[in-house]
Amino acid sequence: MTKPSLLELPPGVQLVYLAEGGANVVYRFVSAVKSPVTAKRDPRKPLSPVAFEPAERFTGKLLRLRKDTAANVSYKEIVQNFNITVRPLFKADELVDQTLIRLPEGLIHRCNEQLLLAESNGGRPEKRHGGYLSLTEPFGLLVTDMTTFDDPGSTLAELKPKWLIQSPTAPAMAHRCRTCALRGMKNYEARSLGQKEQRSFCPLDLVSETFEDVLRATNYIKGCGDRTRLAHILFRNPTLQKLLSHQKTYSNVGLHGPPIQSTETSLDMTLRDCTLYIKIPKDEKSPVDIRLGDLDLKTGAGGKAKYWRDLEIQLIDGGWYEGFNSEAESSQCALQHLPVHQHPAT
């Protein structure tokens, strides 16, 4: 039985910059405007390549391209880890899918030229200046399009469902979950520097069995103006509940995490740093598309394992789990509203 042939991106593909993070740039597919057959053109100039095929073939997909970073993990390795480790944990329609596709020659050079041009005309975030696509990466990733570009009536809400269960090495009498403890510490540092503080939901509220707790969390979720509808979508949501279950199972985190010198990958931390995308149609009777993304397998290499461990020690020793710091803001953490005997086991 022969293996399926690898997808190849046609040379005439037309891309439009959509967004970027520290390690990747994401593009939308578009078609060039085709001139009528009768239109006159300069016979000395060749026809510009058009991209009608990719635009149709890759409907519902975006193209993700890898930046040149210190981590330097190839897309081939990222997809292999995703297929072996992450994909079996969820249904296909619960994940932002990713598929390898070979890039045409010269595409990365053209994209880098566009990024450089965007830096001069204000088309690129200043904090991303100086970072460009890897010239040694032969592949891109086709990923599920969770934008509302082709469905203007819909809305997209997204959130980070980090640490849906308390850190296993948090103090037994903690008044803050891991996420709220970290936010409290960062806000304390921000205040001392005269910087803006962060406000967000408590992840424990997201998976609460009480609807009002979930509704409270939606105060801090951007992208959907109808908080009540969003809360009903999230309340006891199967994908969110499945993520919670996996976080309980894969619990080698906190001080139980990978050894400091570890080069191993950590599914446990990956499941605590993904993104939940919720595409909500205008018609309330139409299905809502909910998928988990940002699930590239994390590694403890390059000092990452040490950073995770040191951060946990800092939260414990600094009293951030207990909220001992008298200058700390009033926490929104669900643990503060629970009697001690109802606190989650750590």
**Per-chain mean pLDDT for the chain:** 87
Residue 17 predicted with pLDDT over 60: yes
Domain residue limits, the chain: 7-144, 155-342
What the block records as the tokens of 333 is 């953490």
| 280-308 per-position pLDDT tens digit | 999 999 999 999 999 999 988 888 999 99
Return d(Cα 70, Cα 275) in angstroms, integer. Answer: 23
Size (the chain), residues? 346
Q: What are the tokens at 332? A: 């929104």
Looking at residue 47, its pLDDT comes to 32
pLDDT confidence bin for 329, thresholds 50/70/90 = low
Q: Which two tokens stand for residue 187?
A: 């806000």
189 C-beta neighbours (distance < 10 Å), count? 11
| 12-21, 107-116, 157-166, 313-322: least confidently modelled range | 12-21
* Residues 102-121, mean pLDDT to the nearest whole number: 94
Rounded distance, CA 35 to CA 41, Å? 9
Amino acid at 183: R
54 neighbors 29 (Cβ within 8 angstroms):
yes
Q: Measured between alpha carbons, how far is residue 32 from residues 13, 29, 39, 44, 51 in Å?
A: 9, 10, 15, 20, 6
The CATH classification number of 7-144 equals 3.30.200.110
Q: Please tell me which of 13-22, 46-55, 71-80, 201-210 the model is most confident about, judged by mean pLDDT.
A: 201-210
- How high is the pLDDT of residue 117? 93
pLDDT digits (tens, 9 = 90+) for 24-67: 999 999 865 444 443 443 433 333 333 344 456 788 999 999 99
What pTM does this model have?
Answer: 0.87
Question: Quick one: residue 277, left, alpha or beta (phi over 0 = left, psi -120 to 50 = alpha)?
Answer: beta
Please determine, for residue 9, whether its predicted confidence score (pLDDT) is greater than 90.
Answer: yes
Output 261 or 176, whichever has higher pLDDT. Answer: 176
HEC secondary structure over 122-154: CCCCHHHCCCCECCCCCEEEEEECCCCCCCCCC
Q: Which percentage of the chain shows pLDDT scores above 90?
A: 70
Task: Considering only residues 133 and 36, tell me which one the structure prediction assigns the higher pLDDT.
Answer: 133
How far apart are alpha carbons 241 and 243 in whole angstroms?
5
H helices present in 218-320, as ranges: 227-234, 238-249, 267-270, 304-317
Cα 208 to Cα 273: distance, rounded to the nearest angstrom: 19
pLDDT in tens, 169-190: 999 989 999 999 999 999 999 9
**20: CB partners within 8 A, 6+ apart:** 26, 67, 124, 125, 128
What pLDDT was estimated at residue 50?
A: 38
